[in-house]
Amino acid sequence: MVHGEAWTIKEFFTYPNEYIYWTIQIVMYPFMTGLVAGAFVLSSLYHVFGVKQLKDIARFSLVFSFALLPVAMMPLMLHLQQPQRGIEVMMTPHFTSAIAAFGIVFSTYGMIVAAELWFVYRQYFVQTVQDLKVKTSRTAWDSFLISLYSILIMGAWDISEHALEKDEKAVKILAGLGIPVACFLHGYAGFIFGSVKANALWMTPLMPVIFICSAVVSGIALCIITYAASMELRKLIFAWKRKLNPDLPTTAELKSVELHVVTMTVKYLIMFLILAITLELLDLIFRGYTAVKSWDILRSVIYEKDFTKIFILQYTCGNLIPFILLLMPRLTVRRAVLGTMMVLLGVFMMRWNVVIGGQAFSSSFAGFMDYRLPIWPHDMETFKEGLFGALMVAVTPFVLFYFISRILPVFGQKGGH
């Protein structure tokens, strides 16, 4: 069976070799890289621009961006017919290939985030090792942390005020360098789509900019949801531990901190959401105004075939309704989480409509194709390109974040910036 035949439904006149080749994993790819870039930009708003209101979530989003980073390549590896060749992109850089540019940017961004995390957590590493060494009864986990942190410190045990000032300066420089690299990491995905001259829906110079703005929106939204969920877990854990340690923060205190952080972060989410919506609508209006030769088939796809996906799910449920929810006075955490979940739906549908919608019309301009998402896999191909493959990609960063946060705690840590 030809790749794509199992999930492609054809209508009217299409060429025999036309199928939906880019499926759910290629939708997940720009979606996940966008989350990486957006989470990093959120942390940089504090480290670079000094937005003090975002201090509590800056470290959280930086660690979460690091957890998202390895997952950015998972959709591509699952989609490739020869995934063992994927490492070639990283090991053999090619400066005239847009795909190969990903290897260069991905490696550079990974080193920047890792270095920034080292400077942010160096003071914590040193203080933790010093405290654990004087501890009389150490557990196996304590001994493991002493060994691991001693390696990560790399001999830089100086935590004097002068040394910490240098760390803070290094964090600011790395965060400043990381912003354009993070934007390029995701913007190049839009560049790949926008440079395909054979596809009328993708070929627009606004595509990279639209991808970058929606990436920041999705990254901030996911950080808000994950932060709120983490704080809810902390409330439950602290309520149980408070029986043994009454000095722990109360539920009311944690709720106050949570509401303050979420409210401040939502303000910046709204700002980037307005920018993303404006660019997407501008692109749609521009296409209709210029009305090039391919506009007839594009109009059939946008206003007829994919009307529900574009105007109901993406613009109404993913943009308009959450915009109203987040702008309403007396914002609560529950309403913020609901709004940000709908924002994530809107960004995901934008990726879906670009990737799948761009393949919905035949090159003959006389036929259509539809993608039927494989729900229950009957072989490895339908697993990777179906619902379960997408869910595996979506769940992985949260598993990684849990284990990374055991090493790099995002709440209640000593020291750091």
pLDDT tens digits, one per residue of 48-87:
888 888 888 888 999 999 999 989 888 888 888 777 777 7
Residue 416 pLDDT > 60? no
The per-residue pLDDT for 259 is 87
The per-residue pLDDT for 365 is 67
Q: Which amino acid is it at 17?
A: N
The per-residue pLDDT for 312 is 93
CA dist list (Å): 20 to 2, 32, 71, 356, 379: 11, 21, 24, 7, 18
Residue 402 pLDDT > 60? yes
Give residue-wise pLDDT tens across range 333-371.
Answer: 999 999 999 999 999 999 998 888 877 777 776 777 888
% of the chain with per-residue pLDDT over 90? 34
The per-residue pLDDT for 19 is 78
Residue 399 pLDDT > 90? yes
Residue 208 tokens read as 């990279």
Q: What is the dihedral of CA 208, 214, 216, 219, to 10 degrees?
A: -130
Residue 9 pLDDT > 80? no
Q: What is the mean pLDDT of residues 165-189?
A: 88
pLDDT-based confidence at residue 2 (cuts at 50, 70, 90): low
% of the chain with per-residue pLDDT over 70? 94
Residue 417 pLDDT > 60? no
Q: What is the mean pLDDT of residues 184-201?
A: 73
The per-residue pLDDT for 282 is 86
Please list the residues that pair with 367 across neighbouring strands.
12
pTM of the model: 0.88
90 vs 210: which has the higher pLDDT: 210
Nearest-5° Cα angle at 31, 233 to 76: 115
Longest Cα–Cα distance of the chain, Å, equals 78
The per-residue pLDDT for 413 is 59
pLDDT-based confidence at residue 99 (cuts at 50, 70, 90): confident
**If we measure between CA atoms, which residue out of 223, 231, 171, 280 comes closest to residue 38?**
223
The per-residue pLDDT for 171 is 92
| Contact partners, residue 387, CB within 8 Å, separation at least 6 | 24, 373, 374, 375
Please name the residue that has the structure tokens 């390109």.
Answer: 385
Give residue-wise pLDDT tens across range 367-390.
Answer: 778 888 888 888 888 888 889 999
Give residue-wise pLDDT tens across range 266-322.
Answer: 999 999 999 988 988 888 887 777 766 667 777 777 888 888 888 999 999 999 999
The per-residue pLDDT for 173 is 93
Give residue-wise pLDDT tens across range 227-237.
Answer: 999 988 888 88
| Average per-residue pLDDT for the chain | 85
The per-residue pLDDT for 391 is 93
| H or E element at residue 369 | strand 367-371
